[in-house]
Structure 1
Amino acid sequence: MPSRQQVGRLDRGRDPDAALFTARTPRIVAARRLHRRRDRDGTGRFLAEGPQAVREALAHPDHPVVELFGTPAAFQRYADLVTAAADRDVRVSAVTDDGLAALAETVAPQGLVAVCRHLDVPLAAALDRAPSLVAVLAGIRDPGNAGTVLRTADAAGAGAVVFAGDAVDPYNGKCVRASAGSLFHVDLVRAADPAEVVATLRSRGHTVLAASGYGETDLDALLDGGGLTGPTGWLFGTEAHGLPAELAALADARVRVPLHGRAESLNLAAAAAVCLYASARALRSRESP
């Protein structure tokens, strides 16, 4: 059970027994503006909704959580997160159900919403950590797809995920939720020019592969031939149109996932999962004694 001191940490002069924050409380109103991209960009902050996202945000080494809002019931259910927030000197405030609903974007919110600082890392800094696997989301606009690919990249062991060109905001609420906490596990890079990302990856020793349903290289053949055992950057394009031809042409190879049944194609998230896990398998095989 969180203490009065912990729940009152949002404003050190605030009486923990005072009325709960509501949808009209100025701090709630200010946080709610983070649903809009211009406010996220302007403040460098975003919302992370639900206990899984909050848990991963609190565990991040850079301590990005600025504030934690929650209903009294959620604070009881997730008392360990309230304690972790207080230990990190995060402002904590109890809110009414309508106050929480104003912050949440889901139909049935789980009672917790954190305000976090952006986690952007420059591409050069991310590559300084020598990641063996990098996913580049070039112009992907759908936040659910982008978040799912980010989550998959994390699961496959990618060290960095790049949102390149006219891609969706990675701090969009739906993208954050679809990442299921993986947003806080990988180096997150935003880059204006996908072509520059390709050039930088190649200059750092990465083979750059473009996922394409019409690629001349078969993924299974590439895997079996040892073509995925080195540092690799995968390029993924939009669900509807794939990668622009001029960007795909910059890659070392354009790779198609083989279709053994009658399906016309795979959706973006499924294709990305197959490609990233093929790389993960090859990299594990290389590292095995």
Structure 2
Amino acid sequence: MLENPRSPRVRAVAKLTKRSARQETGLFLLEGPQAAREALTHRPDTLVELFATPSALERHADVRDAAQDAGVDVVFTTEAVIEAMADTVTPQGIVAVARQSPTSVKDVFAAGPRLIAICEEVRDPGNLGTIIRAADAAGANAVILTGRTVDLYNPKVVRATTGSLFHVPVAVGADLETTASRARAAGLQVVAADVGGEDFLSHRALLSRPTAWLFGNEARGLDEEALAHADLALRLPIYGGAESLNLATAASVCLYESAFAQRADA
């Protein structure tokens, strides 16, 4: 059993909360039974280490069984060790280390996607993770992050995806101009979600076409340079007294509207 919270092995895992350590090692941190379960089920090849307290593994027997099926050894630890490794204040007794495995923009479009999300300068980890989760739920084929977007492997992003990180391909560090050009070459229209755009409902029929949704910064939205790469900009209507919609909420609506329209036309 791993018992010393100050051991080099524990400190190496704890360092993965920092971007510099993630960049240096190509690894990232997973916390909790849900993340471990999804990784073991969908991408066991990416798992490097799996740590758990005996009581946590007893509570989550499905994680134990999935680890056995995947041939991944579990390292038992004390609660203090898990607390030293984790990014959360109240960890759930299971922590894993996985290899970063982003896809490439080239591979995204080679697969013939019909619905993707492009995130340009999305800075809030919770928003990005929720957008990835929504894209997964809406059946999107991929998510593409430009170089100005928060790190995909930030622990808060990973937690907010609730495992969708292992379901949907995600490309990182992309150039927006190149991405938009590749989208058009692959037969997708690029539609920006923007408060200064045209009325959403008047263009709803267009959403049955293959679409790359473009989402911008939480505070500033999309600047003129970014909007120039879109074929169309649409704004969601506000029927009540709310000043605006949270970015992740707006992205969820847009992605689902496309999913509904595309399936109605299928």
2:148–2:173 Cα contact (<8 Å) kept: no
Aligned residue pairs: how many?
266
Distance 1:136 1:192 in 2: 9
1:21–1:93 Cα contact (<8 Å) kept: no
Structure 1 residues 86 and 28: alpha-carbon distance in aligned structure 2, compared to 1, 3 A threshold: farther
2:129–2:156 Cα contact (<8 Å) kept: yes
Where does structure 1 lack aligned partners over 5 or more consecutive residues? 1-18
Aligned to 1:45: 27
Tell me the amino acid that sits aligned with residue 142 of structure 2.
A
Aligned to 1:11: none
How is 1:105-254 mapped onto 2 (pairs within 5 angstroms)? 105-215=87-197, 217-223=198-204, 226-254=205-233
Identity among equivalent positions (%) equals: 48
Does 1:33 find its partner at 2:11?
A: no
1:65–1:115 Cα contact (<8 Å) kept: yes
Does 1:261 find its partner at 2:235?
A: no
Aligned to 1:23: 5
| Equivalent of residue 64 in structure 1, options 26, 33, 46 | 46
Distance 2:11 2:18 in 1: 12
How is 1:265-284 mapped onto 2 (pairs within 5 angstroms)? 265-284=244-263
Distance 1:133 1:69 in 2: 36
* TM-score of the aligned structures, taking structure 1 as reference length: 0.88
Distance 2:142 2:6 in 1: 39
Deviates most, 159-168 or 259-268: 259-268
Distance 1:122 1:192 in 2: 9
2:180–2:190 Cα contact (<8 Å) kept: yes
Task: Tell me by how many angstroms 1:188 deviates.
Answer: 0.9
Aligned to 1:6: none
Task: Tell me by how many angstroms 1:128 deviates.
Answer: 1.9
Distance 1:209 1:284 in 2: 18
Structure 1 residues 218 and 34: alpha-carbon distance in aligned structure 2, compared to 1, 3 A threshold: same
Distance 1:109 1:29 in 2: 16
Distance 1:20 1:190 in 2: 34
2:105–2:174 Cα contact (<8 Å) kept: no
Tell me the amino acid that sits aligned with residue 228 of structure 1.
L
Does 1:74 find its partner at 2:36?
A: no
Distance 2:4 2:44 in 1: 30
Deviates most, 181-190 or 104-113: 104-113
SS in 2 for 1:214: strand
SS in 2 for 1:227: helix
Distance 1:27 1:21 in 2: 11
SS in 2 for 1:189: strand
Where does structure 2 lack aligned partners over 5 or more consecutive residues? none
Larger Cα Rg: Structure 1 or Structure 2? 1
Structure 1 residues 142 and 198: alpha-carbon distance in aligned structure 2, compared to 1, 3 A threshold: same
1:21–1:28 Cα contact (<8 Å) kept: no
Aligned to 1:13: none
Distance 1:67 1:179 in 2: 20
Structure 1 stretches of 4+ moved >6 Å = none
Aligned to 1:9: none
RMSD: 1.3
SS in 2 for 1:162: strand
* TM-score of the aligned structures, taking structure 2 as reference length: 0.96
1:147–1:177 Cα contact (<8 Å) kept: yes
Tell me the amino acid that sits aligned with residue 266 of structure 1.
L
Aligned to 1:5: none
